[in-house]
């Protein structure tokens, strides 16, 4: 050990705040903050480039606490370095409406870059931050002026490395050579169940070397060693670095350090008293001496760093005004001023073409039109670009050119989605990622995090039903659309043709407060004729596609490929209205008057048809209505045979309507 006593005392401020806050809340994880305090001391006081007075400074370093259960570590750091996180906020740890919830939550406290908690997703987000930094730098930096230049620092633990997503994300980071990603692995050997050697015996060093990372080992309580390793990590620009830090969980607690007892429960009043004695900390709970605050305060240093960058950017604006304006626009998240008008013009052209094609192809056509307008698009697919049709003519792979706009993620659905969340969080890009709808299941938790964090990520899912045919039930989605629709703050679009597909893309791109999922077909879908008013109403998520002939007696609600079935049934019936509902979430956001105009409450004869699980649609048809769809898994056969076998046909729709109106 070479850490001087005064430096250890500075780090001890984290330890006492963590154990005091967890004790007061009677809930939490004191062990990780106490064990990683020395690492955090070095990284945050000496290396992290940030400004507590402006947490959104564009060129700040990003910090991710992937082992988010140790959240008091980050809250202590934010408080000590001068962010707007008061000692009262620390005292309110894990309480309702506090800035300091149980896990770091985006939007609650300044300085929190991402919501972590589901283990492994934090490191994947960090890979997304590093990818965004590298790509944005390649797109905007000049030989004489560098305006995008920052690191991503990530703390992670055993649990993160046990989760499979860490393999997906870290393998990918090594392949891309994300040299400005530096991870600190809290190698304390303890998880909730005890010593991890009984269930986690990986050779982490060799694992990361095989990924193409630089691997360094240090004593996680030796400040000099941590410092030197960080310098080495910064010097390696062609590889990400993981610093394996051997630590003692709960360091300072005489009876619980190094044990699972300190992992996920308060230390207890008696143990805290003993810990204070061991640490030589005489102050009462939640009291930090003034001289300790002085050592931690990062406001002046942060302001100087931002001011220095401002001067560089001012010169950049003078020499490269177009690029500077574009960079500021992209960082703000605003679309080009003329995007809406150009998108609407494309939608009108699409309507005039009246093409009968698969909606996955319609999606690619839309990307071809919108892509040149939106340099912030950063697309990708999980090894299915040729099937998802996510590549348009202007795509350049970042693997070939760091300034590119397309990412080949490989077969990494979960990692891809969490990385895309990091890209969106970084700013400067709108990421879209794609796979088959069935394999959304691999990515499910990261999709949830997109919605929870309100990030503009566009999830493209093709091969949307039994209509994909011969690949069989393992590939045919049934319950997935309902799962997506049940996710709060996620807009799920299932367009019926080319026009609705273009509208879905436009809506998803314009939405700044959350993600969208585009559910697209493999097979061709019939074009539906619309008026200008219907096109406008389609953007509202649900609209009358076919007006009833005569008195309204029944309503057919359909999405995607089943809109064609509904329209075929409509041709055989009287007094029936067809409602296309490409996005139920958008429809439910409309005012009551509009919803009533589309689905009049007094019309109780309603039939919903969709080649997906039927349960979702009862909310729209009511107990008096009928739903035609799936209640089992699919089968392997041509699509036309499957739709007939499962009773998702025009005849079934006609029969259902007649049974309700006879």
For residue 468, the 8-state DSSP code is G
Annotated binding site for thiamine diphosphate: 69, 117-119, 159, 188, 263, 439
Q: What CATH topology corresponds to 5-302? A: Rossmann fold (3.40.50)
Beta bridge partners of 546: 578
pLDDT band at 4 (very low <50, low <70, confident <90, very high): low
Beta bridge partners of 519: 461
For residue 45, the 8-state DSSP code is I
Residue 10 has pLDDT above 90, yes or no: yes
What's the confidence (pLDDT) of residue 5? 55
What's the confidence (pLDDT) of residue 6? 85
Residue 378 has pLDDT above 50, yes or no: yes
User: Who wins on pLDDT, 6 or 152?
Assistant: 152
Calculate mean pLDDT across residues 465-492: 97
Annotated binding site for Mg(2+): 158, 188, 190
Residue 1 has pLDDT above 90, yes or no: no
Distance in angstroms (rounded) separating the CA atoms of residues 545 and 549: 13
Q: What percent of the chain has pLDDT over 90?
A: 99
Distance of CA 595 to the CA centre of its chain: 31
- Cα–Cα separations (whole angstroms), residue 638 to 634, 635, 641, 643: 11, 9, 6, 9
Residue 3 has pLDDT above 60, yes or no: no
Q: What percent of the chain has pLDDT over 70?
A: 99
Calculate mean pLDDT across residues 83-104: 98
Domain with CATH 3.40.50.920 in the chain: 539-660
Residue 511 has pLDDT above 60, yes or no: yes
What's the confidence (pLDDT) of residue 370? 98
Distance of CA 451 to the CA centre of its chain: 7
Annotated binding site for substrate: 29, 263, 360, 387, 463, 471, 475, 522
Distance in angstroms (rounded) separating the CA atoms of residues 576 and 587: 20
What's the confidence (pLDDT) of residue 364? 98
SS3 label, residue 546:
strand
Calculate mean pLDDT across residues 538-563: 98
Locate 467 and state its tokens: 């209509």
Query: What CATH architecture is 338-520?
Result: 3-Layer(aba) Sandwich (3.40)
Locate 80 and state its tokens: 């000590």
Instruction: Quick: pLDDT tens for 607-655.
Output: 999 999 999 999 999 999 999 999 999 999 999 999 999 999 999 999 9
Active site residues per annotation? 413
The C-alpha angle with vertex 27 and arms to 165 and 292, in degrees rounded to 5, equals 90
Calculate mean pLDDT across residues 426-444: 98
Domain with CATH 3.40.50.970 in the chain: 5-302, 338-520
pLDDT band at 72 (very low <50, low <70, confident <90, very high): very high
SS3 label, residue 621:
helix
Over its C-alpha atoms, the chain yields an Rg (Å, rounded) of 27
What's the confidence (pLDDT) of residue 180? 98
Calculate mean pLDDT across residues 596-617: 98
Annotated binding site: 29, 69, 117-119, 158-159, 188, 190, 263, 360, 387, 439, 463, 471, 475, 522
Calculate mean pLDDT across residues 9-14: 97
Is residue 541 left, alpha or beta, with left meaning phi > 0 and alpha meaning psi from -120 to 50? left
Q: What CATH topology corresponds to 539-660? A: Rossmann fold (3.40.50)
Residue 2 has pLDDT above 50, yes or no: no
Locate 282 and state its tokens: 């005489």
What are the residues whose beta carbons fall under 8 Å from the beta carbon of 345, sequence distance 6 or more?
none
Neighbour count for residue 402 (Cβ, 10 Å)? 16
């Amino acid at each position: 050990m070479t850490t001087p006593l005064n430096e250890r005392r500075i780090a001890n401020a984290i330890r006492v705040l963590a154990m005091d806050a967890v004790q007061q809340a009677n809930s939490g994880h004191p062990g990780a903050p106490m064990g990683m305090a020395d690492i955090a001391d070095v990284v945050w006081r000496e290396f992290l480039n940030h400004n507590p007075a402006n947490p959104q400074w564009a060129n700040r370093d990003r910090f991710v606490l992937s082992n988010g259960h140790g959240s008091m570590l980050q809250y202590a750091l934010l408080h000590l370095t001068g962010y707007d996180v008061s000692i009262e906020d620390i005292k309110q740890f894990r309480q309702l409406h506090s800035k300091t919830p149980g896990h770091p939550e985006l939007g609650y406290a300044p300085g929190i870059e991402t919501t972590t908690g589901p283990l492994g997703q934090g490191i994947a987000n960090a890979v997304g931050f590093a990818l965004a930094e590298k790509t944005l730098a390649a797109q905007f930096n000049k030989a004489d002026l560098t305006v995008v230049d920052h690191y991503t620092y990530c703390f992670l633990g055993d649990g993160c490395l046990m989760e499979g997503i860490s393999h997906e994300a870290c393998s990918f980071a090594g392949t891309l050579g994300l040299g400005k990603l530096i991870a600190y692995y809290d190698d304390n050997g303890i998880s909730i169940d005890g010593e991890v050697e009984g269930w986690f015996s990986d050779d982490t060093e060799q694992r990361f070397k095989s990924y193409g990372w630089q691997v360094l080992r240090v004593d996680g309580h030796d400040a000099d060693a941590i410092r030197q390793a960080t310098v080495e990590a910064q010097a390696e620009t062609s590889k990400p670095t993981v610093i394996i830090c051997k630590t003692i969980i709960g360091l300072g607690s005489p009876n619980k350090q190094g044990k699972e007892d300190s992992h996920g429960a308060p230390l207890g009043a008696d143990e805290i008293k003993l810990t204070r004695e061991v640490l030589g900390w005489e102050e009462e709970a939640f009291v930090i001496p003034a001289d300790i605050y002085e050592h931690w305060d990062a406001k002046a240093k942060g302001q100087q760093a931002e001011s220095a960058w401002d001067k560089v950017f001012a010169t950049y604006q003078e020499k490269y005004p177009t690029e500077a304006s574009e960079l500021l626009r992209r960082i703000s998240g605003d679309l080009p001023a003329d995007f809406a008008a150009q998108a609407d013009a494309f939608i009108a052209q699409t309507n005039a073409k009246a093409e009968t094609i698969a909606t996955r192809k319609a999606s690619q056509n839309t990307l071809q039109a919108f892509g040149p307008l939106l340099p912030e698009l950063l697309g990708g697919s999980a090894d299915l670009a040729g099937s998802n049709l996510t590549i348009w003519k202007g795509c350049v792979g970042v693997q070939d050119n760091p300034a590119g706009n397309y990412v080949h993620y490989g077969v990494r659905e979960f990692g891809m989605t969490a990385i895309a969340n990091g890209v969106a969080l970084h700013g400067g890009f709108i990421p879209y990622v794609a796979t088959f709808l069935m394999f959304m299941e691999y990515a499910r938790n990261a999709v949830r995090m997109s919605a929870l964090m309100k990030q503009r990520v566009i999830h493209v899912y093709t091969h949307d039903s039994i209509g994909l045919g011969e690949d069989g039930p393992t590939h045919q989605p049934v319950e997935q659309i309902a799962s997506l629709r049940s996710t709060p703050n996620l807009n799920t679009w299932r367009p019926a043709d080319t026009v609705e597909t273009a509208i879905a893309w436009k809506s998803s791109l314009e939405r700044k407060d959350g993600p969208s999922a585009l559910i697209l077909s493999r097979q061709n879908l019939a074009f539906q004729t619309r008026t200008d008013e219907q096109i406008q109403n389609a953007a509202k998520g649900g609209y009358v596609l076919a007006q009833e002939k005569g008195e309204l007696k029944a309503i057919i609600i359909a999405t995607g490929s089943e809109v064609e079935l509904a329209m075929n049934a409509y041709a055989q019936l009287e007094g029936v209205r067809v409602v296309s509902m490409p996005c139920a979430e958008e429809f439910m956001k409309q005012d009551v008057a509009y919803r009533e105009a589309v689905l009049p409450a007094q019309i109780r004869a309603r039939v919903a048809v969709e080649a997906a699980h039927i349960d979702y649609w009862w909310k729209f048809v009511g107990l008096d209505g009928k739903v035609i769809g799936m209640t089992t898994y699919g089968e392997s056969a041509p699509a036309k045979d499957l739709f007939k076998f499962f009773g998702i046909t025009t005849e079934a729709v006609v029969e259902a309507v007649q049974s309700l109106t006879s």
